[in-house]
Structure 1
């Protein structure tokens, strides 16, 4: 961390490179006689090319198993704001939905995530993995992506394991402050907002959207059913008196949700970090680091979507929509680390990390259903308001101890207690008929005389995780061999609860003339809700299909590993891991918290041994060749084993679980050649192959309406294979300070899935969902010799990938849907005006590319991203 602190204080940003090169000692000796001379040495011998890569290159070279490391300086160069965006720069990784990382073409389920080596819970209602956009770049010291399996890692390992390492305690005083702003070209059009939003600039609902105290009391009293008939039966009163109670409960809900146009505000971000280290005497040091980060940003997009069906033997459009979506994201993060060190041998650290991410989303636009509505005359006009608050709080304590008196035995231990929450209060949806006879665009808008004139939904999710682990290692020496014996154990527990309440306000008894050209706030005003003559009524009663469930998981593991340096040429590492996996997932009846279904089918237990072997051959001082094999599994998520329907907040698809899912067994093979040059240049070529038994895939199920319903199936077999190229090239032969770095992955995959009664696929053998046949990253960088300027031009693209598989209707099938390549070109320029400060200017999506999904030769989904511009100033005291 001291090296990082030096970097923060140096306008040249070259200290890391120098600290990892032989020129450091020379520069330090010179500094004793002439500070000016030492500074001159920095200018002539260091480059940011080395500074951004040297530390991570050294760690990667020393790894026994194939891994890629991404350091904080590399993240800063590309200007990525969170872990998800940064990881797409790593060889073979692709970013999906801006939140999830696919490693070597395998979906997010096949990649595990750790925070400082500990498992973390997830606030996502349809996935067991945590969305990586929750981790701001400001708290990240480095990220490790291990691609070949080692037995000291969880056996739930497919594409790879991502370990996010947060910033650690500094060795000297650090005080950093930054502030920034941003703008998107999509801001030229007005966005959308709504009247019932409340004051939530800190990323937390102020209570406006939450269920009222009166409603919560009524739900407890009436066993979750507040329908008039149930109230009358429970209270023993007349239907008319019960209707009064029902209408008053309706008025207690937040029904002031009129949507209006709003000018877009610029993005705002800021951070503050302070840390220090103190000598307490008796060879004891104490240190701490505290930081807070705030970011509020807006997106304003135009989106289109089509849902295809089969009519007269060909694909037709069953539903078409054109909508505008405005979303405000607020991110608040905090970090507090404490540490104490006794001598050089014993250290204990604690970390408390708090992350909050809020998305306030309004979607509004026309929906046409050609099979039932004459699109030349009538259409639907839908409004969908969603507010989602995700939080992660984790407390970690870890220790490292070295005992030279016991033959150099070292002991590491860690305990982590984490909780992830998702709160989605007051999701509002309403549909109106759009009569366009009056002319172009929107004509008369009329609410429908239905029981669901508007719906309001309240969801909560809590995911808790506890992680204990202990690792010990002992070095042994036998003849010319150096042997490291390592072993340990780990216990991981997870528990998840998810509850949802849904209410509808009926307009079945409201006169037609009161439903035409009336605003939402006017129609659902307290006066109308409580007026028995007007005709509005509240409905809300649990059903067997409500997405309420409890799930728990426990993994107990032990492992042993040998790392043997046979001679100067060969290194052999390998071992075995035993894991016992227990999981229970049960759908609940929220009225009495009883389980729905057979309890005997709610749980499962597995017990197995998983092995790995890695060989490293040192060709010479600069080159090495690696071989790796690992036997691993990927298990169904907690959520996927419960057969309830959720709406995925990212894709808007309905998602249903499958209690029959089986564990996927994987054989992983890797080989990689690496060449590290003294100048800092490096090159590598890798090949990989993965054989999957019972791979899990997300597929489209047969539905009863025009909405897509996604479920999960086991395929019979699957395989993924490919080759990766990576390089870092100094281009000072063209001009001083210029360099080029990048990587390319070429791969293919295949999966075989049989049809079921609920799923009939068009292609039973195809590529795996989410797999791209190519991924490319290129970065052209420049560092001025005077250390005042730094610039990078960064390009990223992933080949088309299956968004969801096509299904058959009768004998005719709809093709698979492919997400098209998104060509991302970003530019980052940093100016260092003085010793302590820097100014960063960033432009993202210079090409103005859009996100598109194609099916049957049609663009069935599109979203314009726009070009984002941001400016950030930071100062280090």
Structure 2
């Protein structure tokens, strides 16, 4: 059933762009009970607009006769000849059961004349006698009440919405009415000849059939989504690139509470650690993550990833994975782009949701792991200050700048926390809260609302790895150099929130604010037991680490359409983001086996390390889309835009090495608890000392400015063929300077300066209604990350390998 409704509900918005005396016409289109977006409406031979995802279009037409043609996918739905009066408000409903049947028509006018179908309503509007009409709307399948159903009553402007209990009630003049029940996820129901009498309550309840079974084929591919099945299908057909998408409804129906859980079902994606996405087998450095088309730094700046489990389904309208390049995407494009799309429309009704999960892992829960004494607020993922650089050390080294041996008092000021103890690991816990509300003043086209999501997770992991190192023997074979058994206990705490605020000014202008704050903290004990052939010794290395990463992002964005400019669309965003990484007071110490007994080694390998990193990003963009509805018989869109991205990073590492005394009682070193060895009594002139061993390449600063502009066109030649062509130009200036804190003039610079023209073209052949064949060609680049251009060594948080970059790296060109 295809339904097309013209109503007067947008009178305020329409009159703002027209002249006094124009008639207000609103159009709603439905097919088989589901709203149809993209239906073409032509008045007097001129296209006046397309219906939106709710199947509606609101326009102003001058007084007099008008020929109106409504069509969808090249097929005419209805032709109408209407005579409009000054200041008239009119509503039309077209209902088409299937493409093989003509659309039925129900048109109402505020002038009191029933133009098509039903009884004359003039008597209803002329009288002041009123009655009540009320009822309840439920789902035929689940029998549950349906909130947010729009109830249209013939001859009455606007629509009534059902409340949270599925109920509605409104007063209307006495008379005979047609009542329509409309919801985007259910088949529309229309009842005629509903009689309302004076001072009496008329009840009309109904059950709506879910429309999902009619849309089962609309599952995966689409360029953009607003979360519903219909939007996914329309966007998929119009895509000029190869994309996969999961909408909010699909996430929810699949039982996924966040984007990461839902994307497990997407072909060509690999989900790592339940949160990170690899596209087509390519790692994180070959993928980009965008939030509403704005770049988003990783909460762990040592990795080029954003954990998708931070985004609950309640605040996302969809997640899009684009696998082929188009000029409106960043030119640094290899594996693909993950686009996170927040809700762009007001919710139908207020909502609150709280979920609590207990997590059981057969490899970890109630098993024994190693822990160490931390801070009082570790359970929140926030250090209580006990791990920060001691004030005496900070003063003596001028913040780590001055090298040399620390005084005895400064050495003793480090917390003496080294011991690990076995402990039974508890189940993990996950808490998620979602709150949303809307505010829509009566008789106004303005509305605003918010979505607030909060999450907390505390989980444990036990890892057991065998790490062997091999080298060549000079004769074509390999020999085992190091053989290490690693046992790792991790306590990971995630704490975050997302606030999404939306303001709508009619149907043509929307403003949105997105605020994201997320923290991820990891408390680790890493024990390596093994053999080192270089020293011919058996060792037991222990690392105690606390790692905090934080992402803050504030985005403002807007979407605007201008019907007076042939439906020109403009969108923009301004996004400021900051990523922080703090790894304070990491401790490393080694025990060496001698005659079956392990003793603390007197080699100067014991170390205390502090790491910090700050990454700031500013992203601004402006895009224009101009539709040409009939260019030599085709539908064409011309898109152009400009963007500017500025990034800067500062990374600092401080290293303090324990220096062993020349002579020390061997029995002291045999104590398995290092806290009994690194005591104040053993620190001093004849004991242990601490030396500032920060390396010349331990610190770096980096900057990048990236300016871009693009022009592209998308042409729908006919129902079977569509084309895309365009190019993007990017000016990139990337600079990484690695330096010694005590001598910043001695530095190593890695720099990339380039101007790249990146073309792209694609052709799509829809050889039947259910299948399409796409071919695409493009030129893109892959640029080194900041850390890859710096000689500052860092420890990979996953592999624990020491990574050193290369300032001589160049960008790769991909065709």
- Asked if these proteins are the same fold (TM beyond 0.5), I'd say yes
Q: Which residue of 1 aligns with 2:499?
A: 336
Deviation digits for residues 394-445 of structure 1, max 9, x if unmatched?
Answer: 00000111111122211111100000111111111111013463xxxxxx33
**Are the counterparts in 1 of residues 375 and 384 from structure 2 also a CA contact under 8 Å?**
no
Q: Which residue of 2 aligns with 1:574?
A: 725
| 1:523 has 2:677 as partner | yes
**Are the counterparts in 2 of residues 88 and 101 from structure 1 also a CA contact under 8 Å?**
no
Does the residue aligned with 1:38 lie in a helix, a strand or coil? strand
Q: Which residue of 1 aligns with 2:753?
A: 605
Q: Which residue of 2 aligns with 1:639?
A: 787
Deviation digits for residues 195-250 of structure 1, max 9, x if unmatched?
Answer: 2454311111111211122222222178332515xxxxxxxxxxxxxxxxx12112
Q: Quick one: structure 1 residues 357 and 78, their matched pair in 2 at CA, closer, same or farther if it must change by over 3 Å?
A: farther
1:503 to 656, 669, 673: 656
2:396 to 211, 215, 218: 218
| 1:293 has 2:462 as partner | no
Q: Which residue of 2 aligns with 1:175?
A: 352
- The correspondence of residues 335-374 of structure 1 with structure 2, limited to 5 A, is 335-370=498-533, 372-373=535-536
| 1:204 has 2:382 as partner | yes
| Offset at residue 145 of structure 1 (A) | 0.6
Q: Quick one: structure 1 residues 457 and 612, their matched pair in 2 at CA, closer, same or farther if it must change by over 3 Å?
A: same
Distance 2:592 2:289 in 1: 46
Q: Which residue of 2 aligns with 1:54?
A: 229
Distance 1:290 1:387 in 2: 29
Q: Which residue of 2 aligns with 1:564?
A: 715
1:468 to 599, 620, 630: 620
| Offset at residue 176 of structure 1 (A) | 1.0
Q: Provide structure 2 residue ranges, at least 5 long, that are not aligned to the other structure.
A: 1-51, 55-136, 150-180, 195-201, 221-227
Q: Quick one: structure 1 residues 176 and 48, their matched pair in 2 at CA, closer, same or farther if it must change by over 3 Å?
A: farther
Does the residue aligned with 2:415 lie in a helix, a strand or coil? coil
**Are the counterparts in 2 of residues 558 and 578 from structure 1 also a CA contact under 8 Å?**
yes
| 1:274 has 2:449 as partner | no
Q: Which residue of 1 aligns with 2:318?
A: 142
Distance 1:496 1:354 in 2: 19
Does the residue aligned with 1:623 lie in a helix, a strand or coil? coil
| 1:284 has 2:446 as partner | yes
Does the residue aligned with 1:305 lie in a helix, a strand or coil? strand
Distance 1:7 1:72 in 2: 22
- The correspondence of residues 744-759 of structure 1 with structure 2, limited to 5 A, is none
| Offset at residue 491 of structure 1 (A) | 0.5
1:161 to 337, 344, 353: 337
What TM-score comes out, normalization by structure 2 length?
Answer: 0.71
1:514 to 655, 660, 668: 668
Q: Which has the higher contact order (CA 8 A, sep 6+)?
A: 1
1:539 to 669, 688, 691: 691
Deviation digits for residues 78-119 of structure 1, max 9, x if unmatched?
Answer: 666765565453222224566643322333222111112100
Does the residue aligned with 1:517 lie in a helix, a strand or coil? coil
What TM-score comes out, normalization by structure 1 length?
Answer: 0.66
Distance 2:391 2:184 in 1: 68
| Offset at residue 595 of structure 1 (A) | 5.0
Distance 1:128 1:306 in 2: 27
Distance 2:792 2:144 in 1: 53
**Are the counterparts in 2 of residues 271 and 291 from structure 1 also a CA contact under 8 Å?**
yes
Q: Which residue of 2 aligns with 1:622?
A: 770
What is the count of residue pairs matched by the alignment? 628
Q: Quick one: structure 1 residues 345 and 166, their matched pair in 2 at CA, closer, same or farther if it must change by over 3 Å?
A: closer
Q: Which residue of 2 aligns with 1:64?
A: 240
**Are the counterparts in 2 of residues 618 and 625 from structure 1 also a CA contact under 8 Å?**
yes
Q: Quick one: structure 1 residues 29 and 625, their matched pair in 2 at CA, closer, same or farther if it must change by over 3 Å?
A: farther
Q: Which residue of 1 aligns with 2:420?
A: 259
Deviation digits for residues 304-348 of structure 1, max 9, x if unmatched?
Answer: 211112336322221111232110111111011212111111111
Query: What is the CA RMSD across the aligned residues, in angstroms?
Result: 3.4
Does the residue aligned with 2:285 lie in a helix, a strand or coil? helix
- The correspondence of residues 410-489 of structure 1 with structure 2, limited to 5 A, is 410-435=569-594, 437=596, 444-452=597-605, 454-476=606-628, 477-489=630-642
1:553 to 704, 710, 717: 704
Q: Quick one: structure 1 residues 213 and 44, their matched pair in 2 at CA, closer, same or farther if it must change by over 3 Å?
A: closer
| Offset at residue 47 of structure 1 (A) | 9.4
- The correspondence of residues 124-135 of structure 1 with structure 2, limited to 5 A, is 124-130=300-306, 132=308, 135=311
| 1:38 has 2:180 as partner | no
Q: Quick one: structure 1 residues 149 and 516, their matched pair in 2 at CA, closer, same or farther if it must change by over 3 Å?
A: same
Q: Which has the higher helix share?
A: 1
Stretch of structure 1 that moved more, 502-511 or 487-496: 502-511
Stretch of structure 1 that moved more, 364-373 or 246-255: 364-373
**Are the counterparts in 1 of residues 370 and 422 from structure 2 also a CA contact under 8 Å?**
yes
Deviation digits for residues 515-562 of structure 1, max 9, x if unmatched?
Answer: 112412221234433x544x010111433232x111111110111111
Q: Which residue of 1 aligns with 2:484?
A: 321
| Offset at residue 37 of structure 1 (A) | 5.4
**Are the counterparts in 2 of residues 15 and 51 from structure 1 also a CA contact under 8 Å?**
no
**Are the counterparts in 1 of residues 656 and 694 from structure 2 also a CA contact under 8 Å?**
no
Does the residue aligned with 2:380 lie in a helix, a strand or coil? coil
Q: Provide structure 1 residue ranges, at least 5 long, that are not aligned to the other structure.
A: 229-245, 438-443, 668-877
Does the residue aligned with 2:188 lie in a helix, a strand or coil? helix
Instruction: Decide which structure has the larger Cα Rg and report it.
Output: 2
Does the residue aligned with 1:26 lie in a helix, a strand or coil? strand
**Are the counterparts in 2 of residues 482 and 564 from structure 1 also a CA contact under 8 Å?**
yes
- The correspondence of residues 838-877 of structure 1 with structure 2, limited to 5 A, is none
Q: Quick one: structure 1 residues 462 and 578, their matched pair in 2 at CA, closer, same or farther if it must change by over 3 Å?
A: same
**Are the counterparts in 1 of residues 790 and 807 from structure 2 also a CA contact under 8 Å?**
yes
| Offset at residue 35 of structure 1 (A) | 8.4
**Are the counterparts in 2 of residues 327 and 359 from structure 1 also a CA contact under 8 Å?**
yes
- The correspondence of residues 656-805 of structure 1 with structure 2, limited to 5 A, is 656-667=804-815
Distance 1:298 1:647 in 2: 21
Q: Which residue of 2 aligns with 1:404?
A: 563
Q: Quick one: structure 1 residues 82 and 512, their matched pair in 2 at CA, closer, same or farther if it must change by over 3 Å?
A: farther
Q: Which residue of 2 aligns with 1:112?
A: 288
Distance 2:586 2:270 in 1: 31
